[in-house]
Amino acid sequence: MNLEEEIKQTIFQNEYHKLILNILFTGSWLVSSISKIIKEYDLSHAQYNILRILGGQHPAPANVSNVQERMLDRLSDASRLIEKLRCKGMVERKECPVNRRQMDVTITDKGLSLLEQIDVKMKEYHKQFQSIMPTEAIEVNRILDKMRESV
């Protein structure tokens, strides 16, 4: 369904206005659909993002500021989210041996196992986008990168 039908609006200020609304709407749609997948694992989108970050650099630890810099939603409170994941047994926090004011965060075996389970479902989720040709995906990525560069 096109944007006009989705938001029941046919008039836009210009194509840039429509583009911005389309990106916002699509981003919200993507977050919502991914949230449905991870909800059954009692994870928020931001918690899942942190697990992915830590899983991607496992077994190396990360500090909270490294995690914050890599998050998709950088306005999220990484410290609070990491603490919630620690309480669930998904991550561990340890004092950094080099800098005692800094905490090292690592993903646990339980967290890695959960990521593997979610990855199976995410691979299935990604199949719905196969109607988009790889060259089209490359072009959309290029345009989105260009948008962020211009601001």
DSSP conformation class of 13: S
**In 3D, which of 10, 101, 115 has the Cα closest to residue 64?**
101
Encoded amino acid at 39, one letter: K
Buried b (16+ CB within 10 A) or exposed e, 117-127: ebeeeeeeeee
DSSP per residue, 50-109: HHHHHHHTTTS-EEHHHHHHH-SSTTS-HHHHHHHHHHTTSEEEEE-SS-TTSEEEEE-H
| Order of strands, sheet of 62-63, starting from the edge strand that comes earlier in the sequence | 62-63, 103-107, 91-95
> Are 64 and 103 in contact, with CB atoms under 8 Å apart?
yes
For 107-145, write each residue's pLDDT tens digit: 999 999 999 999 999 999 999 999 999 999 999 999 999
pTM above 0.75, yes or no: yes
For 89-104, write each residue's pLDDT tens digit: 999 998 878 877 788 9
